[in-house]
């Protein structure tokens, strides 16, 4: 039994990252951005049960040779309720595929909020101050290739942007960012 739930799995996805991939939409989000395109994923008790069978099916989808990318989005993959299983999944992806698949992670957290352990977010009575969860968020992003960060802001909506909904969000090359010690944007 896993603590995480999921809203949907896309077996063939060309919209949530570069190239052809698969996507997992986790269930649950504290950010609840105004006019979010995926508000049905906000409820942590909604969606579907994430089981060993579901996880294995998802990983099996990634074995197809034309699948080059695995995207994890939601909901909020880095919410306290989801972070443990997302870390397990990212670890299994890296163990199974090494660097042959890129991992794209979409989060409402800004990169700085993930990296800075003194950063506290309070939304609707939820406080993000669990140091173990903060460390797990850092570990997750360190194993990803691309991070799309930032909450969706409706007044900054821009349909012409690739892979993101509002101009405040960034598409970050995580490997280069962590190596250089400053944010480096993903280049296609």
Least confident of 29-33, 125-129, 151-155: 125-129
Question: Residue holding tokens 């140091």?
Answer: 131
Question: 69-101: per-residue pLDDT in tens?
Answer: 999 999 999 999 999 999 999 999 999 999 999
Classify the phi-psi angles of 52: left when phi > 0, otherwise alpha if psi is within -120 to 50, otherwise beta.
alpha
Give domain limits for the chain.
5-180
Predicted TM-score (pTM) of this structure: 0.93
């Amino acid at each position: 039994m896993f603590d995480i739930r999921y809203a949907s799995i896309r077996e063939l996805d060309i919209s949530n990252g570069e190239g052809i991939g698969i996507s997992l939409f986790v269930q649950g989000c504290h950010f609840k951005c105004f006019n979010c395109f995926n508000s049905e994923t906000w409820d942590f008790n909604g969606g579907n049960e994430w089981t060993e069978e579901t996880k294995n099916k998802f990983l099996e989808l990634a074995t197809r040779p034309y699948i080059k990318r695995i995207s994890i989005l939601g909901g909020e993959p880095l919410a306290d309720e989801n972070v443990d299983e997302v870390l397990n999944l990212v670890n299994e992806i890296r163990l199974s595929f090494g660097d042959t698949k890129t991992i794209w992670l979409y989060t409402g957290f800004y990169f700085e909020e993930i990296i800075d352990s003194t950063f506290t977010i309070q939304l609707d009575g939820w406080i993000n101050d669990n140091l173990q969860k903060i460390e797990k968020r850092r570990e997750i992003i360190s194993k990803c290739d691309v991070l799309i960060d930032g909450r969706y802001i409706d007044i900054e909506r821009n349909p012409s942007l690739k892979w993101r909904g509002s101009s405040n969000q960034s598409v970050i090359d995580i490997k280069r960012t962590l190596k250089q010690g400053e944010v480096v944007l993903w280049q296609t």
